[in-house]
Amino acid sequence: MRKIAREIRFAREVLTFIDPHGMSVALVANEEAMTRPFAPWEGSPIPTEHQIRGLESARMAVQDLAPTAQFLVNAMGFRLLGSENGWERYGVENARSGQYLDLGEAPNENRGAWGTGSIHHLAWRVDDEAHQLEVRELVRNGGAQPTPVIDRFWFKSVYFPSPGGVLFELATDGPGFAVDEDRARLGESLVLPPWLELDRGTIEAALPKLSLPGN
């Protein structure tokens, strides 16, 4: 980690730093997060009370703030919660992890590009497939061009670019990662969707070796 700094964002204490790929990341102290459903990692070197409880928010910088702000409110049901230091915070009702989106205007910045250290898209959870279709219609009526529903095997997705160019996804929870794997052993092995199994050898050869802390 590099360039660790301490600041206050929307009345919450934040530690910001740069990850190994150059991405700006922040840890947010949020007392409300302590009530979220949480399964601690018993083998973690971090004490349970200090482990990450979820995604607090995401930040988007766009060249022109107004079109994206209007789309968030009118098409996606967000509401403006406040403004601070050039950022506007939007939120959705009855959300838990990831309920905030901070939007800032950067008229002189170039569009982002894909590559190591970049975020490809922001995904929003929907209640179920019916809700996904409902929200898809709302964003289509709001001027977006959503894809058809795409079957990702573990969940179903709809994608569309927001007015500022950031790619959004509407994703279902189900059927879930336990559909083809023992829930108690999730993450212990590389599991691929059926259409990638033929390429398993090539994919495994390209992956870096991982080891748990202390091993």
Query: What is the model's pLDDT at position 74?
Result: 96
Outline where DSSP puts E strands in the chain. Answer: 2-9, 12-18, 24-28, 57-62, 79-84, 87-91, 100-105, 122-125, 150-151, 156-161, 167-171
> Shortest CA distance to 16 belongs to which of 1, 28, 5?
5
pLDDT band with cut points at 50, 70 and 90 for residue 3: confident
pLDDT band with cut points at 50, 70 and 90 for residue 11: very high
Mean pLDDT of 164-168: 94
Distance CA 70, CA 135 (A): 16
Instruction: Reply yes or no on whether the pLDDT at 66 is more than 90.
Output: yes
Distance CA 167, CA 93 (A): 22
Query: What is the model's pLDDT at position 1?
Result: 56
Mean pLDDT of 4-20: 93
Query: What is the model's pLDDT at position 117?
Result: 66
Share of the chain above pLDDT 70, in %: 96
Q: Is the dihedral of CA 207, 208, 210, 215 positive or negative?
A: positive
Mean pLDDT of the chain: 91
**Confidence (pTM):** 0.88
48 to 33, 69, 85, 211: CA distances (angstroms) = 13, 37, 33, 21
- What tokens were used for 38? 């949480």
Query: What is the model's pLDDT at position 84?
Result: 96
Distance CA 92, CA 79 (A): 7
Q: HSE-up of 12 (CA within 13 Å, CB side)?
A: 16
The per-residue pLDDT for range 75-129, each reduced to its tens digit, is 999 999 999 999 999 998 877 778 899 999 999 988 777 777 678 899 999 999 9
129 to 122, 138, 159, 207: CA distances (angstroms) = 18, 14, 14, 33
- What tokens were used for 78? 């967000």
Mean pLDDT of 159-174: 95
160 to 63, 120, 168: CA distances (angstroms) = 18, 12, 5
Query: What is the model's pLDDT at position 188?
Result: 84
Mean pLDDT of 20-30: 88
Instruction: Reply yes or no on whether the pLDDT at 51 is more than 60.
Output: yes
Distance CA 31, CA 145 (A): 38
150 to 83, 93, 98, 154, 179: CA distances (angstroms) = 36, 26, 23, 11, 17
Beta strands 100-105 and 167-171 are unpaired
Mean pLDDT of 38-50: 87
Mean pLDDT of 128-137: 97
Instruction: Reply yes or no on whether the pLDDT at 58 is more than 70.
Output: yes
Partnered with residue 15 across adjacent β-strands are 6, 27
Mean pLDDT of 134-151: 97
